[in-house]
Amino acid sequence: MKSRSRKTRRTAPAGGKTYVFQLFVAGNESNSTQARDNLARLCKEHLMGRHEITVVDVLKDAATAYAHRVLVTPTLLLIKPLPKVLLLGNLSDTRHVLAALRLIGGER
Amino acid sequence: MARPTRRMHEHEEAGLRKNRKRIRKIPTGIVGLDKVLDGGLPAERMTLVGGGPGSGKSIIGLQWLLAGADAGDPGMLILFEERVASVRQNAAGLGWDVAKLEQKGLLCLLDARISPEAVVSGDFSIKGLLAIIGQKAKAMRARRIVIDALDALLYLYDSPMRERHELYTLHEWLLDQKLTTMMTVKTVPQEESPRYAFLDFMADCVIHVDQRVTQQITTRRLRVVKYRGSGYGRNEYPFVISQDGINVIPITSNELQHRPLGPKVSSGQAGLDVVLAGGFRRGASTLIVGTAGSGKTTLACIFAQAAGRRGERVLYINFEESAESMVGNMLSPGLALGPLIARGTLVIRSYLPEAMGVEEHLFHALKALDELQPQHVIVDAISACKRMGSEQAAFEYLMRLLNDCRERGITCFYLNQATGLDIVAEISGIGISSIIDTVVLLRHLPVDNAMKRQLLVMKSRGSKHSDLFHEFQITDQGIELEQI
C-alpha cells in the first residue's frame, strides 16, 4: 500500500477517545483482506493503539450483518465516538478514509 | 386479487399440462399473465421485469409473492429503494395484510437501502447481501425472491464493468441456490444503449411493462420479450392496475374456443321474429346499425324486456347515456325497464368512453360478465368506443368482448350509429362485421312527404331470413312491423 501520509496528525484527536470499529468481511476474499490490513495500519499510525476492532465474517454471521444492514463487503462501521460513520470498500484511499473518520480535516 | 374465472383456470391447467414435459413453472398469481407466460415464471431461474417509472413492475413482483404466501410458499422481497413501511401500505391497499404474513413466516420484507451517508473507498462486493439472503431464505424456507431496484445499490460502483460483474455473480449465486427470482430493472424508453440491456441476455425470462399516453388516454402494456425453453404470447397485452392488483388482458387467445350457436330466441317482437325466421340465435352476435333516432336502442330494449320476462339476465353497457335517462327515454315506446332493473334481470352500466383506457373498459366489462353471468350483452353504441383513444382501441375492446361472449355462449348485440345516409356502406362496424352473425339495418327514408322507418336483415347466419326492407313504426306499444 502506498503510504503518502504527508502532514497528517500523528496523534489521536482531542479528548483521546477510544475508537470502536466493526469491520464486516466476507471470509478471505481479497477486498476483505485488504480492508483488514488497511484498517490495522491506519489505527497504528493515527490512533496509537487507542482503538477496538471487532471483525464480523458475514459468511458466518449474516444475522449481525443484517442487523446493521451491511450489504456489501468490506464495510467498516465507526461506532464510537459519535456520530457513526459507514465506510464501504477496501479502504485503499487512505486520505479519503481518514477524512471520513474525522482523523484529518481542516487542511484546505 | 382478481378471482380467476373458471374458463381461465382451464386454460391455465391446459398450459401446465402441456409444459409438464418441459421446464417447471411457477404461476405468478396474475391470471392473464400466466396465460401469456403459458403457465408462469421459470422455476429456479431468473425473470427480469423491466419498465419505466410507474409502469407497475414492483406490483407484479409483490403480487407474485403474495400469491405464493397465500398458497403457503414463502417468499422474500428485497427492497433497495422503497421503504418497507410503504410496501406494507401498498399491499394493504390491495387488500393484503402483509404484517400477518410476515408473522407467519410466509413473507419477508428486507430493507436493503444503503444509507446515503455511506462513504465509498476502494472496491467491494455484494457478498454481504448474498449472505443475508442465503441465511434468511434458509431460515424461512423461501423459494421465491423479488429483488426490487438493485440499481440503487449498484450505482455505488460508478463503473458499468463492476456492475456487470456483480450482477453475473448474483445471477450465478441465485441459480446455485435454486431460487426462483424476479428482478425489477428500470428502463428508459428510446434509450440508445440501456445500461442494463445485458441483463436481458442473462435472464431466462424477460417481461417489459410500460405506460403510454395516446390521445390523452393512458394505457398500460405488457410484453414478454423472451422465455427460454417455453412458448409464450408474443403480442403486447394491455393490463390494468385495479384495486385487486394487476390484471392482464390477453387480447388474442391462441385458440378460438367459440361455442356453436344455440337455438332461436325471440326478439321480443312477433313481426321481427317472422322476418328473422324465428328470432336471434343464442350465443350469436348481432350488429344493429342505424342513424341517430332510427330505433336501435328501442329494438335492443324490446329484446332485453322479453329476455327479462323469460327470467334471463341482460348486461347493457351504455356509452351514450346514463341508466336514468335511458329508463326515462324508453317510457315513450312503452317499455318499463325500471321493474327489470329492480329484479336484477337488467343491469345497465354506463361509462364515458374517454374516462379510461381500453384495458380498463375491458376489465370492467369482463368483470361484469364474471359477476353477473348474463345470458345477453348489449353494447350501445360501438361507434362511441373510438373515444377510448383510437379506432384500434375500439376494435380491441369490441373484439375481446365479443370473443369472451362467444366462449361463454352469451348473445351479444352491438349497436352502431351510422353517420351518413349510405348506411349499407357503413355496416363494417369498426372492422368486426366479418365475425358478426346477424346484421340488422335500420333507416329513415323520405317517402311521400314523410319519413318512413325501414328495417332490413342484411345477414343472419344459419337462418332463412327475409331479405326485404320492412317498414315499421315506433308506437307507445313498442315497435310495430308492417305485415309481410
Which chain A residues have a beta carbon less than 8 Å from that of B111?
Answer: 69
ipTM, interface predicted TM-score of the complex: 0.80
Q: Which residue has the higher pLDDT, B94 or B352?
A: B352
Q: Does B150 touch chain A (CB under 8 A)?
A: no
| Sign of the alpha-carbon dihedral angle for A5, A7, A11, A13 | negative
Does residue B188 come out as left (phi exceeding 0), alpha (psi in the -120 to 50 range) or beta?
Answer: beta
What are the DSSP calls for A7-43, one per residue? S---SPPTT-PPEEEEEEE-TT-HHHHHHHHHHHHHH
> pLDDT tens digits, residue range B131-187?
999 999 999 999 999 999 888 888 888 888 888 899 999 999 999 999 999 999 888
Cβ contact, residue pair B136, A34, below 8 Å:
no
Q: Measure the CA–CA gap between B206 and B79, rounded to whole angstroms.
A: 20
Mean pLDDT of B244-272: 74
Q: How many CA atoms lie within 13 A of B18 on its CB side?
A: 15
CB A72 within 8 A of CB B126: yes
Residue B349 vs residues A3, B8, B320, B352: alpha-carbon distances, Å: 78, 24, 11, 10
Which chain B residues have a beta carbon less than 8 Å from that of A90?
Answer: 121-124
Task: Tell me the β-bridge partners of B237.
Answer: B222
The pTM of this model reads 0.68
Name the residue facing B134 among A62, A91, A93 (closest C-beta): A62
Mean pLDDT of A28-40: 90
| Sign of the alpha-carbon dihedral angle for B185, B191, B194, B199 | positive
Helices B160-176 and B127-140: crossing angle in degrees, nearest 10, is 20
Q: Measure the CA–CA gap between B146 and B148, rounded to whole angstroms.
A: 6
Which chain A residues have a beta carbon less than 8 Å from that of B132?
Answer: 58, 62, 65-66, 71
Mean pLDDT of A18-44: 90
CB B210 within 8 A of CB B221: yes
Beta carbons within 8 Å of B393's beta carbon, 6+ residues apart: B214, B217, B219, B357, B358, B385, B386
Distance from CA of B132 to the nearest CA of A (A): 5
Helices B57-70 and B84-93: crossing angle in degrees, nearest 10, is 70
Cβ contact, residue pair A71, B134, below 8 Å:
no
> pLDDT tens digits, residue range B420-451?
656 565 555 556 666 788 889 888 877 788 88
